Amino acid sequence: MSELLQLGSVNQRPQPPKREELTLRFSDAAVKELDALRTHYPEEKACVLPGLWIAQREYGGFLDGEALAEVAYRLDRSYAEVEGVATFYSMYNTAHRPGRHKIEVCTCLSCHVNGAYRVWDYLKSKLGVGHGETTADGEFMLEEVECLDACDRAPVIQVGDQYYGPVDDAYMDRLLDELRASPVNTVVQMADSIVAVQVTGPEREAAHR
Amino acid sequence: MGEYKLLLEHSHDPAYATLAGYQAKGGYAALKKALGMERQAIIDEVKASGLRGRGGAGFPTWIKWNGIPKDKKGKHYLICNADEGEPGTFKDKQLMETTPFLLIEGMTIAGFATQGDAGYIYIRGEFVDAAKALRKAIDEAYAAGLLGKNILGSGYDFDLYIHLGAGSYECGEESALMSSLMGERGMPRLKFPHVPLPTISGVWDRPTVINNVETYTCAPFIINNGGNWYASLGASTKNSRGTKIFSVSGHVNKPGNYEIEFGTSLMDLLEMAGGMKGGALKACVPGGSSVPIMNAQQCDGAIIGYEEMAEAGSMVGSGGCMFLNEHTCIVTFIWRTAQFYANESCGKCTPCREGTKWLLQIMERIRSGGGRSGDIELLQEVCSQIDGRSFCGLGDAAAWPVAGAIKVFRDEFEYFIEHGRSIVQSAESARMLPESPVVAVS
Amino acid sequence: MAAVASETVNLVINDVEIAVPKGELIVESVKRLGLEIPIFCYHPRMKPVGMCRMCLVEVGFKQPDGSVRKMPKPQAACTLPAQDNMVIFTDTEMVHRDRKGVLEFLLINHPLDCPICDRGGECPLQNNTLFYGPSTSRFIEVKRHAHKAFPLSKYVTLDLERCIQCGRCVRFTEEISGDSELAFRFRGASMQPSTFELRDFTSKFSGNVIEICPVGALTNREYRFRARPWDLETKPSICLECSNGCATWFDYRVNRLVRVNGRTNEAINEEWTCDRGKFGHEHYNADNRLTVPLIRRGDRLEECDWPTAYAAILSAFGVGGDKVAMLAGSSLSNEGAYLLNRLFHRKFGSANVDYRRTAHTLPPDEAAGNAPTAIADLELKPSILVFGNSPADDIPIIFLRIRKAWFKHGARVVVAHHGETEADSFADVVLRYAPGTDADLAKGLVAARANDAAGVAQAAAACGVDESRIREAAALLGENTAIVTTDSLLNSASGADAFRALRQLGGELNRYALGANDQGFADLGLVPGPDGRGTAAILAGCADGSIESLWLAGADPFAFGDRATVEKALEQVGFVVYQGTHKSEAMGFASVVLPMAEPAEGDGTYVNAERRLQELRAVLSPPGEAKAAWRIGAELALRVGMAKPYFGAKDVAAEIFTQVPAFRGVAFGDRLN
């Protein structure tokens, strides 16, 4: 049924957030890191991608509307533009809130012919979720991804910073146990690593002092 | 001919990724030498070397460097395309993780030759380890006066930045990479002759050199030993000089990166990688998923060189070489290839956006047993409506594997369509398709 | 526009040789030969992108030996600049195959909506498919599904299944209106244009995306399912919702307005509209239109005939002199205003006529000469100062032109206002002064240009803007600056002072009127002069009884002052003529009601903000007995023996041309003297 019939009066359309209404969550360190990144490029717009990585870290691994709005506000871009950039790239978590760990299984060519789908089907049935879904305990999100370009270790998976491979069912059992036991949120950790490699050593230190 | 470890010579030595270890093995001698040379002389050495772009296009590197305006009227930029995304390719990963200083020194040399003010290494978001290694190395270089202001007292200033992507194969396309670097969606930009070349107006409308990781890492060796020396490698081929790292994977016993001199035979490469695993050789995709697939017969006698591989029916491409054994279902393999391109299509132009998805849907239908007579012709026609009609090379790259596989393995397609199952019973071909994970719409 | 000698290059198009300006896009060059290349994503007023691939042509280059070497791939004509020795083929078998291929790709996911799609009948996708497309479909897979009939705003409906991802709407909000409210999200076959989280599309220019969308993905919500284009008649018209006077197309059916579209007028609106205009004409169809004259008997208004109404009016205004007054509403035509004004001055002997609605006014000698810069010329100004108004609200299409000056020509822009404006997003300097301190800031800018440090410091302290900012802004202004102000500035007590200061800045000082024909009234002299009362004095006079009869000529009295003042005036004054188009609250105070026709229901001429005289020809007939204002004025003039009969608005216009100096010798479409 068309939304026209479902949505009530025209006055109920949600409005774009006003600047004064935004809750800004970037920590001081994040603001400093973004400021350092501004000096790397001749135009501020280039900070959108690194800015989204910072936001993904600051917002617990999920880029919801508020996260996107904050990036837009800080870089003086329109909300729609930042949402457009974030949803283009597969590593920004905009569609689904990830669990504490995002298990990305490569099923592309070399991995494919080396049994990647076996691993994928095993994980799906073990965790009870499908592509883009998170386990009920919030621990693991599962995603099928395209080539991770580490084909000599096929089949390869990525969890946070780390590539693992070649994996098989037993390997996955061990890895999942390790991840469950680890206190780290690897989704947030990966975002942090990615921010850290883009600011220089001295800039990073100054921001986190 | 055969294996020749030029770039990868010290790849297994962890110290080589540190400044001290790198310099201990002769690192930065080339930059010192280059800083004392005339800029044009550096470019002339690269010309003499015959170096061609190692990312996949094989474009003569000296032409790009030489195309940057000599009279400088504003900023010049260099970009390193480290968005290694071509399936089957993992050479840049190893280079960045284990020989980061080769890249840094190479870019600095290129920067000096082209009066570059700053360089950006655009690394795909997944390669966190590679980025970490480069971060450490760049910080060390700055601290030692090898980057930044007045490098080695020469008066040359050069900054080098790291910029991470976020998951998009299209950003490996040079103009889409520029869009992404500038903070936009990774969609490609107009090309010559619609707009000036990137060397005239590239990123932020400034003269820009864009080269692949491997290309830059050749520069120190060319400067140290001279272009002619580099050109002596691969001299048996028509026009392919130097060495090339091939990433060998698939059904081989020792998958990995193998650096070979141009002119080496494809079968020798297979032998270096420990030979076939689990069955006889059936097919090879020698240069990344975008190049036409070869059957065993075509592989036999194929020589690795840009012109030579074309004669053999395929391409050098990125050097991502996948060998497939006799238990591989080609139809299933091509289905997965089609899924890759449909997921990675940026959406800008009609043929790629709609065509890659249509190809995928047809392949899914065939795989699920719903193939109909006329499907092969339909696939071929859809491919011909994409090839050469799209905005950038991704469209061509999506069409070639399908069209190429039909040309070489038509009987497999016919069998699958007629019988509703593969001619080869493998785990992959037998697997039912539960859902199609094309990029999710929220 | 200055003529620039451009280099020409020699092309061959379909074996015909032709010289064209170097760099001209091939898609335009072929038009010189009467050829047309089909397009979707290309739009001549926006940067070409080459996305849809519909315009692919074969391209070759003439070689020194005379042969033609074709490029290996076909090229998009919409992005290809003309070069010497280029050889273009638009009619080959490959080109036909490619067009068919692109259309096939566009149609595989396109829903079979034509029977329920408003675009049907005026749809580029339909047309191109008919000419160039496949006649059947070979697509047997599942089409993609997405939001249909989604209310993106109260004006725009979004249907994402129909979208062909041409990007025109996204590029419009980025390049033309500048709000960037639409962007593509997701990628590949899922790519779709959207507002942020599909929230309200609040752009003040949102209606334009409906017109430039080549399919029915963005449609007019008010027009939805109202008509099929082949049922509609279309006549050219002019929008009178503000003073810009944009050209429009008035679509109607059986004497009823159906919709308004933009019409090309390079001098004013190029081809754009604003939402106030495009969606602001529903009052033509309102239920409360006045259709018969009414006269008050006791405490009720009863229907009467025109002679009765006229007699009552002439009797009540016969006392004349200072005891009568008229307030004119901004969409009266020149003809209506001229005749009514003349009736007041010559028959009633009264100078109490005014149209101005601002809190304060300028003295007559300062009010003249107030729009030196033509709208189209604004685009070429190297610097622009926007002072004391929000142009996207006051003068929307002029706002687009200011933005174009920046976006296309690199103009430097300074915005000085006490509130936020859309122009802030591209201004070089934004000077946010405290409300009421406009004159201080203007004086500060003058001081900065004169290197008067004390003056700048004083201004900064008074208006709350940093000294350095004032200096930064002043440095960008000079003799070639266009200063853009509107009558809004006269709502400030110090507005007149501000104008005086701005005059000292040099450059071209523009004070654009706000109401549709306010500028025409100014040039026709609908102001009181030294002997008469202005708006405020008229309202005061009504309240204290010194004015006995008030004529509201197409005027909403509540727009002329604050509510309390106006209510008191209307209650106290003895006799009120309500000459209007719709029933309203003010009608409750009327003694006589004259039903007036809407502007498009009669011929009329109007003067826009830049003093351009424009002609509007009648599109509809007025309902019931409603009459155009000029006809009311003419009939009254005849009754009092003041004039010969006028048989049409153009007779009145002809008289204006001879009697009013500003209009002498001016042709329609030109600016007044």
Give the model's confidence band at B432: pLDDT under 50 very low, under 70 low, under 90 confident, else very high: confident
Residue of A nearest to B181 (CA): A46
Residue of C nearest to B394 (CA): C188
pLDDT number for residue B429: 85
Tell me: cis bond preceding A166? Omega within 30 of 0 counts.
Answer: yes
Q: What is the rounded average pLDDT of the residues C526-548?
A: 93
Task: Read off the pLDDT of residues B269-306 as tens digits, 9 standing for 90 and up.
Answer: 999 999 999 999 999 999 999 999 999 999 999 999 99
pLDDT number for residue B440: 34
B357·C72 Cβ contact <8 A: no
B67, amino acid identity:
G
CA C533, C535, C539, C542 dihedral sign is positive
Q: What is the rounded average pLDDT of the residues C476-498?
A: 95
Beta strands (DSSP E) in C114-177 are 150-151, 156-158
CATH classification code of B243-325: 3.10.20.600
CA distance B272 to B253: 10
pLDDT number for residue B434: 64
What residues of C are in the B interface, CB distance below 8 Å? 49-54, 56, 72-76, 79-81, 83, 98, 101-102, 104-106, 108-109, 138-139, 141-142, 146, 164-165, 184, 186-192
pLDDT number for residue C447: 96
CA dihedral A126, A129, A133, A135 (to 10 degrees): -60
CATH classification code of B330-430: 1.20.1440.230
The domain spans of chain B are 14-231, 243-325, 330-430
Task: Read off the pLDDT of residues B136-159 as tens digits, 9 standing for 90 and up.
Answer: 999 999 999 999 999 999 999 999
Residues in chain A with CB shorter than 8 Å from the CB of C150 are 2-4
Q: Out of A69, A80, A87, whose CB is closest to C181?
A: A80
Q: What is the rounded average pLDDT of the residues C9-16?
A: 96
Chains that touch B (3 or more CB pairs under 8 A): A, C
Helix, strand and coil percent figures for chain C, each rounded to 5: 35, 20, 45
b/e string for C113-130 if b means 16 or more Cβ within 10 A? beeebbbbeebbbbebbe
pLDDT number for residue B435: 57
Task: Read off the pLDDT of residues B69-109 as tens digits, 9 standing for 90 and up.
Answer: 999 999 999 999 999 999 999 999 999 999 999 999 999 99
Instruction: Look at residues C444, C478, C513 and tell me which one is the last residue of a structural domain.
Output: C513
pLDDT number for residue B236: 95
Chains that touch A (3 or more CB pairs under 8 A): B, C
Within a domain: C476: yes
- As a residue count, chain A comes to 209
Asked if C110 and C142 sit in the same domain, the reply is: yes
C148·A2 Cβ contact <8 A: yes
Residues in chain A with CB shorter than 8 Å from the CB of C173 are 80
Asked if C491 and C421 sit in the same domain, the reply is: yes
Contact A104, A145 (CB under 8 A): yes
Using left for φ > 0, alpha for ψ between -120 and 50, and beta otherwise, residue B116 falls in beta
Q: Out of C54, C83, C184, whose CB is closest to B185?
A: C184
A90·B168 Cβ contact <8 A: yes
Element (H, E) at B160: strand B159-164
B23, amino acid identity:
Q
pLDDT number for residue B35: 97
pLDDT number for residue A1: 40
pLDDT number for residue B392: 96
Within a domain: C385: yes
How many contacts, defined by CB atoms under 8 Å, are there between A and C?
72
Q: What is the rounded average pLDDT of the residues C104-113?
A: 96
- Give the residue numbers spanning the domain of C240: 229-285
Q: What is the DSSP secondary structure assignment for residue A11, as one 8-state letter? A: G
Give the model's confidence band at C4: pLDDT under 50 very low, under 70 low, under 90 confident, else very high: low
What share of chain C in percent tops pLDDT 70? 99
pLDDT number for residue B1: 81
Q: Min CA distance, C220 vs chain A (Å)?
A: 13
Which positions ≥6 away from C659 have C-beta within 8 Å?
none
Confidence check: pLDDT of C1 > 70: no
Q: What is the rounded average pLDDT of the residues B398-410?
A: 97
pLDDT number for residue A2: 47
Asked if C343 and C368 sit in the same domain, the reply is: no
Residues in chain C with CB shorter than 8 Å from the CB of A77 are 180
Task: Read off the pLDDT of residues A168-178 as tens digits, 9 standing for 90 and up.
Answer: 999 999 999 99
C150·A2 Cβ contact <8 A: yes
The domain spans of chain A are 22-94+189-208, 101-184
Element (H, E) at C19: strand C16-21
Residue of A nearest to B171 (CA): A89
Task: Read off the pLDDT of residues C140-167 as tens digits, 9 standing for 90 and up.
Answer: 999 999 999 999 999 999 999 999 999 9
Give the model's confidence band at B438: pLDDT under 50 very low, under 70 low, under 90 confident, else very high: very low
Q: What DSSP letter does each residue of B15-70 carry, written as one string? A: GGGSHHHHHHTTTTHHHHHHHTS-HHHHHHHHHHHT-B-TTTT--BHHHHHHHS-S
Pairing outcome for strands C86-89 and C8-13 = parallel
Give the model's confidence band at C5: pLDDT under 50 very low, under 70 low, under 90 confident, else very high: low
Mutate which: C22, C25, C53, vs B, most B CBs within 10 A: C53
Task: Using a CB–CB cutoff of 8 Å, tell me whether C149 touches chain A.
Answer: yes
pLDDT number for residue C111: 96
Task: Using a CB–CB cutoff of 8 Å, tell me whether B76 touches chain C.
Answer: no
Give the model's confidence band at A13: pLDDT under 50 very low, under 70 low, under 90 confident, else very high: confident
Q: Min CA distance, B377 vs chain C (Å)?
A: 12
CA distance C623 to C223: 22
Confidence check: pLDDT of C340 > 60: yes
Contact B199, B116 (CB under 8 A): no
C17, amino acid identity:
E
Residue C412 bridge partners (DSSP): C383
Element (H, E) at C183: strand C183-185
**Which residue, chain included where needed, has tokens 């993780």?**
B97
C50·B353 Cβ contact <8 A: no
> Cα–Cα distances in Å, from C388 out to B212, C431, C488?
54, 10, 7
A160, amino acid identity:
G
Task: Read off the pLDDT of residues C455-468 as tens digits, 9 standing for 90 and up.
Answer: 999 999 999 999 99
Residue B2 bridge partners (DSSP): B261
Task: Read off the pLDDT of residues B333-380 as tens digits, 9 standing for 90 and up.
Answer: 999 999 999 999 999 999 999 999 999 999 999 999 999 999 999 999
Among B164, B319, B93, B346, residue whose Cα is nearest residue A149:
B93
C53·B389 Cβ contact <8 A: yes
Task: Using a CB–CB cutoff of 8 Å, tell me whether A6 touches chain C.
Answer: no
B350·C190 Cβ contact <8 A: no
Q: Min CA distance, A209 vs chain C (Å)?
A: 33
What share of chain C in percent tops pLDDT 90? 94
Q: What is the CATH number of the domain that holds C281?
A: 2.20.25.90
Asked if C337 and C205 sit in the same domain, the reply is: no
Topology of domain A101-184, CATH: Glutaredoxin (3.40.30)
Task: Read off the pLDDT of residues C265-279 as tens digits, 9 standing for 90 and up.
Answer: 999 999 999 999 999
pLDDT number for residue B427: 83
pLDDT number for residue A11: 58
CATH classification code of B14-231: 3.40.50.11540
Residue of A nearest to B289 (CA): A109
CA distance C192 to C146: 9
Within a domain: C1: no
pLDDT number for residue A10: 55
Among B401, B234, B237, B233, residue whose Cα is nearest residue B308:
B237
Domain count, chain C: 5
Task: Read off the pLDDT of residues C362-400 as tens digits, 9 standing for 90 and up.
Answer: 988 888 767 889 999 999 999 999 999 999 999 999 999
Confidence check: pLDDT of C577 > 70: yes
Q: What is the CATH number of the domain that holds C112?
A: 3.30.70.20
Task: Read off the pLDDT of residues C344-353 as tens digits, 9 standing for 90 and up.
Answer: 999 999 999 9
B322·A109 Cβ contact <8 A: yes
Write out residues 29-48 of A within 8 Å (CB-CB) of C.
Answer: none
What share of chain B in percent tops pLDDT 70? 98
Structure token digits, residue B39:
């800029």
Contact C59, C38 (CB under 8 A): no
pLDDT number for residue C369: 66
Q: Residue C170, Cβ neighbours under 10 Å: how many?
A: 22
- Predicted TM-score (pTM) of the model is 0.95
Confidence check: pLDDT of C652 > 50: yes
Task: Read off the pLDDT of residues B17-34 as tens digits, 9 standing for 90 and up.
Answer: 999 999 999 999 999 999
Phi then psi for residue B79, to 5 deg, are: -125, 135
Give the model's confidence band at B441: pLDDT under 50 very low, under 70 low, under 90 confident, else very high: very low
Confidence check: pLDDT of C124 > 60: yes
Residues in chain C with CB shorter than 8 Å from the CB of B195 are 79
Q: What is the CATH number of the domain that holds C65?
A: 3.10.20.740
Q: Min CA distance, B184 vs chain C (Å)?
A: 11
Q: What is the rounded average pLDDT of the residues A99-120?
A: 96
Within a domain: C3: no
Q: Out of C149, C182, C186, whose CB is closest to A80?
A: C182
Task: Using a CB–CB cutoff of 8 Å, tell me whether B149 touches chain C.
Answer: no
Among B304, B260, B89, B273, residue whose Cα is nearest residue A110:
B89
A88·B346 Cβ contact <8 A: yes
Q: What is the rounded average pLDDT of the residues C177-198?
A: 97
Residue A129 bridge partners (DSSP): none
